[in-house]
């Protein structure tokens, strides 16, 4: 399995991921509003996050939070299908060395590449527990996921979406070499025609995305 330099270990062991999620991660990540890996925003951060300061920002994230074990298990099943199809999906992420007050061996989240069969693209995403924010873990994870996807299936294009009000995740994507392909109001903001300051999202990619994929991501941004 791929490793992320010296800081983070990743594992695709679904049973381990399921067990860790059941016992500890789900309640904690749901409580902090972590967003769905792969299907929504990269680096999803929900309530109690300083950079999401406007009510519209919070509304844009609200529908992306897991609120039940069933939703988390559905994410695991999507990852299982992605692994079975192309050999790459969501990884469990734990520290291989202590960072600040977070000890080695701590499960800090999930992330990686999910293959969207119907669109023919990878979608890059991650979720990290609050204690793992700001430690460079997201950058290591994203770079490792990109490198692994390039070795495994270089013909498959990589996509990612992010809230513009999340500058940290914007920097993560750009450091990993992804380019902005689209910027516009989120789906929630488009439903509020009179909003003077709509929530904006960006779509990133490692190259131009197929038209069907681009249309779908804009519609579901």
Which tens digit of pLDDT belongs to each residue from 59-118? Answer: 434 445 666 778 778 888 888 999 999 999 988 888 888 888 888 888 888 899 999 999
Residue 178: the pLDDT is 96
Domain that holds residue 28: 3-155
CATH number of the CATH domain containing 83: 3.40.630
Max avg pLDDT among 35-49, 124-138, 191-205: 124-138
What is the number of domains present in the chain? 1
Q: Is residue 199 part of a domain?
A: no
Q: Rounded to whole angstroms, how far apart are CA atoms 179 and 159?
A: 9
Please count the CA atoms within 13 angstroms of the CA of 170 that sit on its side-chain side: 13
Task: Give residue 58's pLDDT band: very low, low, confident or very high (50, 70, 90).
Answer: very low
Q: Is residue 210 part of a domain?
A: no
Q: Is residue 65 part of a domain?
A: yes
Distance (Å) of CA 97 to CA 101, 107, 112: 11, 12, 20
């Amino acid at each position: 399995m791929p490793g992320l330099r010296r800081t983070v270990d990743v594992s695709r062991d679904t049973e381990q991921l399921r067990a860790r999620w059941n016992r500890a991660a789900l309640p904690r990540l749901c409580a902090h509003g972590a967003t769905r890996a792969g299907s929504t925003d990269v680096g999803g951060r929900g309530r109690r996050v300083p950079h999401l300061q406007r009510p519209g920002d919070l509304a844009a994230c609200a529908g992306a939070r897991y609120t039940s074990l069933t939703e988390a298990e559905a994410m695991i099943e999507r990852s299982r299908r992605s692994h079975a199809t192309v050999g790459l999906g969501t990884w469990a992420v734990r520290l291989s060395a202590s960072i600040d007050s977070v000890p080695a061996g701590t499960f800090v989240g999930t992330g990686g590449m999910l293959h969207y069969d119907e669109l023919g693209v990878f979608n890059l995403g991650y979720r990290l527990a609050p204690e793992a924010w700001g430690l460079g873990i997201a950058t290591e994870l994203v770079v490792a996921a990109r490198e692994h996807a390039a070795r495994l299936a270089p013909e498959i294009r990589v996509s990612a979406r992010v809230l513009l009000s999340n500058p940290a995740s914007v920097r993560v994507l750009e450091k990993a070499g992804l380019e902005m392909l689209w910027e516009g109001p989120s789906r929630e903001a488009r439903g509020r025609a009179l909003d003077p300051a709509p929530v904006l999202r960006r779509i990133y990619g490692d190259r131009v995305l197929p038209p069907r994929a681009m249309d779908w991501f804009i519609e579901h941004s």
